[in-house]
Amino acid sequence: MPATNTRKVILDNQIRLLMEPLKEVPSVCVGLWVCTGSRDESPEENGLTHFIEHMLFKGTSKRNALEIAKEIDRIGGVINAFTGREYTCFYTKVLKSHVEKGFDILSDIFFNSRFDPDDVERERQVILQEIRMIQDTPDEYVHELFYQDLWGSHALGAPISGTMETVGSFAREDIVAYFRQHYMGSRVILSVAGNIDPEEIISLGARYFGSNEFTDNNVLAPIPADTHTGIHHHPRELEQLHVCWGGKGCARTDQERYPLYAISTYLGGGMSSRLFQEVREKRGLVYSIYSYANFFRSEGNFTVAWSAQKDHFDEILDVVTREITRVRQEGIPSKDLKEIKEQMKGNLLLSLEGTNSRMNKLATDEIYFGTSIPIEKVVAQVDAITEEDVERVAEKYVRPDEFCMTSLGPPG
């Protein structure tokens, strides 16, 4: 496995420019990241970050929305964005020969978006449709409800897209004010991965992003979140009952994330996992059952999720509880742990084959660790997981007595 070859440069206005040359690929992925997400919003602001993500594609002083799309389509490129709970990313993926066009368009939408009042009203309707679409997709919506039940009134529990009420209330002035307050130089990262000449990228970064002045405003540090317990049923006339059951996990920077992820992989991380085999393959009670661990700046969560007929609920819960209890009491057997670590490493390395994922890793490493974490180091940390680590972390985080349960489906 080749050594990681990354580079970091601070532009004159404090934007961080991250680069990873990958000479074996034809493309370049350029990501513009802002270290603000839905957890930075007040209850009244919920959904503003996601609204801004949409608005930056609606036209600038140089290009309208159609021209932005056409310029990317003409060169066979991709432009898109996503909003998370702790960051927002706008990115473009182009062939090496068109990398300057990628910088040009990203710079334009970031610095010159007009936030036209008519566009705000049109996009408001688009986002309201997006919220309805999520609510009409129960196996997705149950996770949104689970976060609300798990994190309570904390901003981590609020939906990233906002609510019908908050999105319906935003005025153009609210959107522009929030953008000016939160999208600042010290919070901006440029992440570039692909077939690049680093010196050319530094020049393009300085030309398209480095000359813009920023005035950093005071933004409060995010408040840590506490998890809540309890059973929460959200009735809806559906064929199946959709369930999320989980609780507190560790932070993104905590070394315990490796054994916790190993536990999640062992319990519900694939077709050979304990839950998939016991609940689906042996008993035929579900089509889908899995577990996952999410990691944030100062907290995280471990969760098991499934969908099934309501009358199977008790049997499924009994099997899941038994498997969790077995891991808490016995850990992961040595042979299984060795296989799980190989699965984790394989998943990691395969996920980093594309320029998109390399660009994402560069940026998220910077956001959470302040530096690039070599892939070799991550692999070594996976290899270093011991049975004792698993037992300790399972005892700390995989605690059904402290879990929160959210269900969405038939009443009663």
Active site residues: 53
Q: How far apart are CA 84 and CA 86, in angstroms?
A: 5
Q: Interior CA angle at 381 toward 377 and 383, to 5°?
A: 115
User: What is the Cα–Cα distance from 67 to 74, expressed in whole angstroms?
Assistant: 10
DSSP conformational letter for 59: B
Q: State the Cα–Cα distance between residues 31 and 324, nearest whole angstrom.
A: 39
CB 409 within 8 A of CB 242: yes
* Whether the Cβ atoms of residue 19 and residue 6 lie closer than 8 Å to each other: yes
Cα–Cα distance measured from residue 98 to residue 324, given in angstroms and rounded to the nearest whole number: 51
Which pair of structure tokens corresponds to residue 131? 């919220």
Rg (CA), the chain: 23
C-alpha span between 43 and 156 (Å, rounded): 11
Kindly compute the dihedral angle of the four CA atoms of residues 131, 136, 139, 143, in this order, to the nearest 10 degrees.
30
- 80: alpha, beta or left, given left = phi > 0 and alpha = psi -120 to 50? beta
Nearest-angstrom CA–CA distance, 204 and 210:
9
What's the one-letter identity of residue 228?
Answer: H
Structure tokens at 363: 């940026």
Distance CA 361, CA 118 (A): 36
Outline where DSSP puts E strands in 250-377: 288-295, 300-308
Question: How far from the centroid of its chain's Cα atoms is residue 113's Cα?
Answer: 25
Contact between 195 and 21 (Cβ < 8 Å): yes
